[in-house]
Copies of this chain bind each other. A is one copy, B any other.
Amino acid sequence: MKRVAVQAGDFDVATELAALEALGGGGVASFTGVVRGGGGLVALELEHYPAMTQAQVDRICDEAMARWPLLGLSVIHRFGRLEPGARIVFVGTASRHRAAALESCAFLIDWLKSQAPFWKKEHFADGAAGWVEARAEDEAKAKGWIG
């Protein structure tokens, strides 16, 4: 099972996890990213490169399935305007081996954070707005994984 979705709308984590649990692998790992509030943030705007995103996420999912013995995975990334508390991203993996489920989940979220063609703009209560700067750490981490 490979489910990849790049969408504006929210998703239901329980539905995703139930599908992964039903694969019978015994172990399901997940990571959910949520918009953090604070500092007067009123919304995050996520822009992406539609022609590239789905294909790239699809490709990295194939890589994860080649590298770890996975029974299935589910990757969802939202775009558009998201308020604090909203889910942005979900990665779920299922395997007979808990280390495979956990490591592939970490691999995929690291990749999404550092290599997927998404850009975040922060909007603040005072009307200010600015693009989030990439963290050097994330760029370095992605290179380590991807080789």
Is A17 close to B, CB under 8 A?
Answer: yes
Q: Is A34 an interface residue (CB 8 A)?
A: yes
> What's the interface size class on A, roughly?
20 to 34
Smallest beta-carbon distance A140→chain B, Å: 13
Residues of B within 8 A of A105 (CB): 29, 102
- Decide yes or no: A32 and B25 within 8 Å by CB, A14-B13, A113-B98 being known contacts: no
A24 interface residue, CB < 8 Å from B?
yes
The reply to whether A29 and B31 form a contact with Cβ atoms under 8 Å apart is yes
Contact residues in B for A29 (Cβ distance below 8 Å): 29-31, 105
Q: Are A34 and B27 in contact (CB under 8 A)?
A: yes
CA distance A22 to B87 in the complex (A): 11
A36 at interface (Cβ–Cβ under 8 A)? yes
6 further contact pairs, Cβ within 8 A, besides A22-B85, A24-B85 = A12-B14, A17-B30, A25-B36, A29-B105, A30-B32, A31-B101
